[in-house]
C-alpha cells in the first residue's frame, strides 16, 4: 500500500498498514452502530404509528403527533 508523506509517495510500513487497517475497522464499526440506531428509530416510529392507528387515529392526526 502506498502513502503520501509530505508530497512523496512511498510504501507504507507494516506499522502504518496495521494502524490503517485498525482505523478502517473502527470506522466500519461506527457505521454499523449508526445503521443499527437508525433502523431501531425507524422500527420504533413504525410501531408508534401502528399503535396510534389501532387506537383509531387518522393519518393526519398521527402525522400531527409524530411528525
pLDDT of residue 66: 85
Q: What is the pLDDT of residue 67?
A: 77
- What domain range includes position 15? 2-66
If you ran DSSP here, which 8-state letter would residue 44 be given? H
Strands (E), the chain: 2-5, 8-11
Cβ atoms of 18 and 25 within 8 Å: the answer is no
Q: How many domains does the chain have?
A: 1
User: Left (φ > 0), alpha (ψ -120 to 50) or beta: where does 6 sit?
Assistant: left
What tens-digit pLDDT sequence spans the chain (67 residues)?
999 999 999 999 999 999 999 999 999 999 999 999 999 999 999 999 999 999 999 999 999 988 7
9 by DSSP, 3-state: which? strand
Gyration radius of the chain's alpha carbons: 23
Amino acid at each position: 500500500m502506498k502513502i503520501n508523506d509530505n508530497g512523496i509517495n512511498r510504501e507504507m510500513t507494516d506499522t502504518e498498514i496495521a494502524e490503517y487497517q485498525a482505523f478502517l475497522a473502527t470506522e466500519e464499526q461506527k457505521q454499523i452502530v449508526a445503521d443499527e440506531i437508525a433502523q431501531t428509530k425507524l422500527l420504533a416510529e413504525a410501531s408508534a404509528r401502528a399503535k396510534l392507528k389501532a387506537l383509531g387515529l387518522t393519518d393526519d392526526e398521527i402525522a400531527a403527533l409524530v411528525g
